[in-house]
Chain A
Amino acid sequence: MNIWEKMLNVDRRWIFLLIGIACIVPFFIPLGLPILPSAEVIGIYDHIEGLGPDNAIFVGFDFDPGTAAENMPMGVAVLRHAFARNIPVFVTAYTPLGQGMAAMAVEELTNESSADYFEYVNWEDWAAIREQGITDRAGIEEAWTAEGNSLPENARGWIFEGRDIALLGYLPYFHLVILGMSSSIASQFPTDIGGTPLEEMPMYQEHKSLREIDLAVTNAGSSACVAWITYGREKIGLPVAFGVTAVMATDYYIYIQSGQTVGQMGGLRGAAEYEVLLHDNGYSKEYGKAFVGMDVQNIAHLLIIFLVVIGNIAFFAGGFNKKTKLKGRR
């Protein structure tokens, strides 16, 4: 067995080790290379930028923890954008475990220890304001601060449960749920996951069905995108945007070109692009996790290309292109 053959038959665990090192090292030595947002991501950003407290969006945490590394930063970035612009957000999940993912995202954005966090106001805490009949966003905030509540120094803003966010969570057969929500959101989710009736929420009173929703962003690791397109976009004209894993991204370019989506975040890169847009437009002081993760992708992609090149050199130098088979397995 000559050196080229040895190289081609290298134990794959060496490759695993190299990838492991390439994934860990950049966390300690950040590169922080600039990322240029693509038109697909700018499409989503601009759409949300055009919305305000009078509008409402759906953000679907339609993924399992497996793909959280890619999907989670997308969900967090879109939520951050919506919260900063006081756009009411209905949060749903296509899979049972997605509900927990949604909770983690909200937790990340409302945790005092994180930068640019939002101060969460529970449904019960602002009951007195509701009783006064104040339902508009500016009025609620005014009344809330008049009660003596002041925004902590490092917080970006308030999130009023039921006005700015409704955590609807998971329901089985979600494509049928989307279909049902085109007539009434409350018919599918009579309460949020905490048991608060949707009918009592000001955000629901202003947006009772998907027809009154201005965007649905589905962060998906499976077929949720198609369900939102089929039952949301095609049936009632609901604008839909995708956040998908890098592997799936190529599948969904079809919908961009046909104009069925407002944009798409593909993999960690897509999430990082959204974070860059948020940072550059003053919505956050720091980049998020996806931006940091791009360093890992930088090195990993280079390593894989290096391995492919080395493999080909060995393949040709060893003259295997002329032989029918290698001695070793593959």
Chain B
Amino acid sequence: MKRSIPLAIVMVGGILFIIQYFIPHQHSQTLFDYYTEWAPIVGAFALVLGVGSLSRLHSHKIKRKAKNWQYSYAVLIPLFLVPFFALIMPESLGGGMLETMGGARTTQGVFDFTYMNIQVPIQATMFSLLAFYIASAAFRAFRAKSALATVLLLAAIIVMLGQVPIGELLGKWFPKVGLWILRYPNLGAKRAIALGVGFGMLATQLKIIFGVERNWLGGAGE
């Protein structure tokens, strides 16, 4: 029962929405509108489960005095403090837009402050790690080990030079060839993978709708 009901829901829902796609009638549209209203609500409830999991994990760590348990406070305190501030200072929910617009700065909200001074720099730092890691990975992995790898290597160098103005100084044709690689050979390969992925998705979705694939229910497919 625990399995057959969700399976039935998926099967009926899946087939229904395939059919719905082809029917523009108002009843079909109403059904779709219902779905679009329900989906975010379900998602919002799931977030509660997520927060529950995070709180449980870190409170366990604190209770057990596990390794680095002190850091768990750094997770738990902001986790509850931020929504608390949002509740008592609703204006801080505005993302700080009104406070800073048009040069007419007034007070900064808590959200605005943490966003500008913590979240923005931290996230930018994380993303900027890519530059370092790309250099290191390129150094270790880009080897002209075979004829194919050599072509790949040459194409990479041309595209990299073509992307920056200095490449144009070195040779007028760098940007042109770089763009040509992006527009044609790159596109061909992308399309090939995209087609495979598309059919893979189609088959997986069919497997889910017809109950062949059941692992998403929890369990190892038995």
Contact = CB atoms under 8 A, between A and B. Distances in A.
Given A172-B43, A179-B36, A193-B94, A67 B136 contact: no
B1 interface: no
A173 B179 CA distance: 35
Q: Interface SS of chain B: helix, strand, loop or mixed? A: helix
Contacts of B186: 250, 253
A179 B194 CA distance: 24
Interface string B153-173: 100110011011111110000
B131 A19 contact: yes
Nearest to B98: A194
Contacts of B191: 254
A20 B96 CA distance: 32
Contact of A298 (B44, B96, B166, B194): B166
Interface in B47-105: 94-98, 100-104
A43 B161 CA distance: 23
Contacts of B3: none
Interface string A1-34: 0000000000010011011100100000001011
A34 B167 CA distance: 11
A106 B101 CA distance: 7
A180 B127 CA distance: 33
Contacts of A38: 175, 179
Contact of B157 (A119, A180, A305): A305
A12 B40 CA distance: 44
Interface string A290-320: 0000100110111111011011100110000
Contact of A20 (B115, B132, B168): B132
Interface stretch (A77-85, A94-102, A128-136, A142-150): A94-102
Interface stretch (A46-54, A107-115, A210-218): A107-115
A304 B101 contact: no
Contacts of B134: 304
A33 B36 contact: no
A257 B44 CA distance: 38
B138 interface: yes
A186 interface: no
Contacts of B135: 15-16, 18-19, 300, 303-304, 307
Interface residues of A, number: 71
Interface string B168-202: 11000001000100110011001100100000000
Nearest to B186: A250
B4 interface: no
Nearest to B94: A193
B50 to A, nearest CB: 14
B207 interface: no
Given A112-B103, A305-B161, A308-B157, A253 B182 contact: yes
B165 A69 contact: no
A16 B140 CA distance: 13
B97 A65 contact: no
A64 interface: yes
Contacts of A35: 165
Interface in A235-288: 246-247, 249-251, 253-254, 257, 267, 269
A310 B135 CA distance: 12
Contacts of A121: 102
19 contacts: A12-B140, A15-B135, A16-B132, A20-B132, A35-B165, A38-B175, A112-B103, A172-B40, A172-B44, A176-B36, A193-B94, A194-B97, A246-B163, A253-B187, A254-B191, A301-B161, A301-B167, A311-B140, A330-B140
